[in-house]
Amino acid sequence: WAARVFYSDDGSTAVEVALKMAFRAHAAWNPGLKGRPVGVLGLREGYHGDTLGAMDAVAPSPYNGPGQTPWYRPRGRFLEAPTLGLERGRWVLRWGQDRVLREFETLRDAFEERRGAAPGRELEYAATVAEAFKGGRGGEVGRRRASRGDFPSPPGLVPGALLLEPVLQGAGGMRLVDPAFQRMLVDEA
């Protein structure tokens, strides 16, 4: 599927190259959006490296805040993702600190490829993903995003790239992101 390959000497430089390629492809596929600010769609608590572009491609955190990088500017829409955690011997799927969506007997059950969103949450997952790509901000959409802890994006921002860690967010606190949620994001992208 790829006609060309680009090699890089480290991860954050690879992220910068990938973003440049994604933004160029986005511009070629969407000429009607020329002039609108383009950014990334990612998850809160993400970390992709220490170059300026990689730091701007994540929500504010201790890694890129004013004490670390005074010129940091978040250039994206960053969602709070549902996460898995081991609690009293069971795998629990949460969205935010207080919302338990589902429990699993084993981690294998949670990672079952055919598993969709938590029962009764399919529409909420789908609406969150659709809102993220369309950029809804006001009314009910805005209230839902704020209640989940999504980081507000700059006005008019168009997602030109989806940037995710593959399931495990290491630097963000060893968070296991719900693979069903990530699959929905990737399918929509």
Q: How far is CA 142 from CA 155, 165, 169, in A?
A: 13, 25, 25
**Cα 142 to Cα 120: distance, rounded to the nearest angstrom:** 21
Residues 6+ apart with CB under 8 A from 1: none
pTM of the model: 0.82
Q: Map residue 44 onto helix, strand or coil.
A: coil
User: Can you tell me the mean pLDDT for 106-116?
Assistant: 82
pLDDT tens digits, 60-88: 888 887 778 888 888 998 988 899 999 99
> What phi and psi, each to the nearest 5 degrees, are found at residue 143?
-65, -45
Residue type, 90: R
pLDDT tens digits, 18-47: 999 999 999 999 888 888 889 999 998 999
Two structure tokens written together for 148: 């989940």
Residues 6+ apart with CB under 8 A from 32: none
Residue 171: which pLDDT band, with cuts at 50, 70 and 90?
A: confident
Domain ranges of the chain: 11-188
